[in-house]
Amino acid sequence: MGFLGVDVGSISTKAAVIDDAGEVVARSYLWTEGDPLAAVKRVLAEVEPQAKAAGEDVVAVGVTGSARELIGAALEAQVVKNEITAHAMGTLSRHPGVHTIFEIGGQDSKIIIVRDGVPVDYAMNTLCAAGTGSFLSAQARRLNVPVEDFGDYALRSTKPTKIAGRCTVFAESDLVHKAQIGHPQEDLIAGLCQAIVMNYLNNVGKGKEVRAPIVFQGGVSKNVGVVKAFADITGEEIVVDDDGHLMGAIGVALLAREGEGRAEFEFSAHDVEFDTRGFECGGCPNDCEVVTLSRAGEFLDGWGNRCERGIERAKADISDA
C-alpha cells in the first residue's frame, strides 16, 4: 500500500508517496506559480508513474502547506495538517535524535524545537522576506548569477561582505552600494548567505534554545552557502537530508499512513476542473470572508466562516449558478 503526501506552498508544491515501511517511492517538486490546483495536478502526474513502477497503490492522502484546506478538499484527503506537525513528523522519522529544526522556504521560514522526540515549541516568520528563498532569488537576479550557483560562489569567498540583512530594502541598497565600491561577487554572495542566517536567528529563532543535533530543511537548505553560514554562526554541525525540501510532504504522508481512513486513490479522477470563489458573507457583523470549492456545480467544501450561515449562503449561490 502507498500513502500520498502533498505540501502546497506559495512558491513550491511538493508530493511524496511512501510505502508501508515509510520509504519514499515517488517524489516531485515543482513551482506553484500562483495556481495551487494546477500545481497539484502537475505533481500528481509526476508521482503517479513512479508509484505504479514501485507497485504501490495509494490508499490514503495527507495534505499540508498554506493551501492545505483547498487541496485537501480537492483531493478528498483523509488527513489535513499544519506545516509544523508535518515537518516535525517527517524529520523525526529520519532523524529521531533531532533537537532543532531550521526550515527556510520560498516565502516563509520556521523553527521547531524538539525535546525527547516531541515538538515543544516553534515560531514562524511570514511577514519579512529578508530571511527567505525569495530574497535570495531576487538578489541572484540583481547580481546576474543563477541562484543555483550561489552556494558555489559563497564557498569560494575568504572574506564575506557584511550586508545589512534585517530588511529587504536595506539589504538591497547595501548590496548595490557594496558592489559599486568593488567588493568581489563571491564575497557579496557569501555576505548575503550570512545575512539570511542572521536575520533568521535574530527573528525566527529569537528566544529559542538552539541545541544540536540541528536539521536544516526547505528549499534553501540546498544552498551550501547558507548551510555553511549556519554552521559558522552557530558553531554546530548542520544536517541536511537529501529529501529535506520534501519533508513536509513526507511527514503528512506518514500521518496519512497512521490514520484510520483508507480509500483507493485514483490519480486520474482528480484531473478535472475545480471552481473556487471567495465572497464576504454579510450575514452578520462578522462579515466573514468565505472561500468555497466546487466541481461541476457541486459544492465540495468551504472555509473562513465562523458559523454555518456563510457556508449555507455559499451552497445556495453555487446551486443557483
Residue pLDDT, tens place only, 206-259: 899 999 999 999 888 888 999 999 999 999 999 999 999 999 999 999 999 998
Decide if pLDDT at 42 tops 60.
yes
Query: What's the confidence (pLDDT) of residue 128?
Result: 58
Q: How many CA atoms lie within 13 A of 40 on its CB side?
A: 33
Q: How many helices (H) and strands (E) does the chain have?
A: 10, 13
Q: Which of 52, 108, 69, 62 is closest to 85 using CA atoms? A: 62
Question: 156 pLDDT exceeds 80?
Answer: yes
Distance CA 109, CA 246 (A): 15
| 162: DSSP letter | P
Residue 47, pLDDT score? 96
Secondary structure of residue 106 in the 3-state scheme: coil
Q: What is the maximum alpha-carbon separation in the chain?
A: 67
Q: Which of 54-68, 94-108, 295-309 shows the lowest mean pLDDT across its residues?
A: 295-309
CA 75 vs CA 193, 198, 292: distances in Å: 38, 39, 14
* Distance between CA atoms of residues 84 and 118, nearest Å: 12
The one-character DSSP state at 243 is T
Judge contact between 203 and 168, C-beta under 8 A.
Answer: no
pLDDT of residue 250: 97
User: What H or E segment, with its residue span, contains residue 13?
Assistant: strand 12-18
Distances in Å between the alpha carbon of 174 and those of 139, 206, 220, 263, 320?
A: 11, 24, 22, 55, 56
Which cell numbers hold the place of 241? 537530508
178 pLDDT above the threshold of 80: yes
Q: How many CB atoms lie within 10 A of CB 35?
A: 13
C-alpha grid cell for residue 45?
Answer: 502526474
Helix axes 185-203, 168-180, angle to 10 degrees: 160
Identify the pLDDT of residue 109. Answer: 86
Beta-strand relationship, 58-64 and 79-80? parallel
**Mean pLDDT over all residues of the chain?**
86
Q: Is 42 helix (H, G, I), strand (E, B) or coil?
A: helix
10: pLDDT strictly greater than 60: yes
pLDDT at 127 over 70: no
Taking 60 as the threshold, does the pLDDT of residue 84 lie above it? yes
Contacting residues for 182 by C-beta, under 8 A, at least 6 apart: none
Q: What is the pLDDT of residue 238?
A: 96
Residue 290: per-residue pLDDT:
79
The answer to whether the predicted template modeling score (pTM) of the entire model surpasses 0.75 is yes
Measured between alpha carbons, how far is 51 from 69 in angstroms, rounded to an integer? 24
What CATH number should be reported for the domain whose range is 2-89+248-270? 3.30.420.40
Using the predicted structure, report yes or no on whether residue 266 has a pLDDT greater than 80.
Answer: yes
pLDDT at position 77 is 92
Confidence (pLDDT) at 40? 92
Per-residue pLDDT band for 36 (boundaries 50, 70, 90) equals confident
Cα separation, 219 vs 29, whole angstroms: 10
| Averaged pLDDT for residues 138-159 | 82
In single-letter form, the type of residue at position 11 comes to I
- Give residue 168's pLDDT: 63
Residue 161 confidence (pLDDT) above 80: yes
Average pLDDT over residues 29-33: 88
Strand order in the sheet with 100-104: 118-125, 109-115, 100-104, 214-217, 238-239
Q: Give the mean model confidence (pLDDT) for residues 32-53.
A: 91
Say what percent of the chain tops pLDDT 70.
Answer: 93
pLDDT at 130 over 60: no
Does the domain at residues 96-240 carry the CATH identifier 1.10.579.10?
Answer: no
pLDDT of 306-320, one tens digit each?
777 777 777 777 666
Output 258 or 143, whichever has higher pLDDT. 258
CB 128 within 8 A of CB 203: yes
With bands split at pLDDT 50, 70 and 90, how would you rate the model's confidence at 131?
A: low
Give the separation between CA 107 and CA 287, rounded to whole angstroms. 28
Residue range(s) occupied by CATH 3.30.420.40 in the chain: 2-89+248-270, 96-240
SS3 assignment, position 299 = strand
Burial of 253 (0-12, 13-18, 19+ CB in 10 A): buried
Q: Which residue has the higher pLDDT, 22 or 132?
A: 22
Residue 174: the pLDDT is 82
pLDDT of residue 125: 79
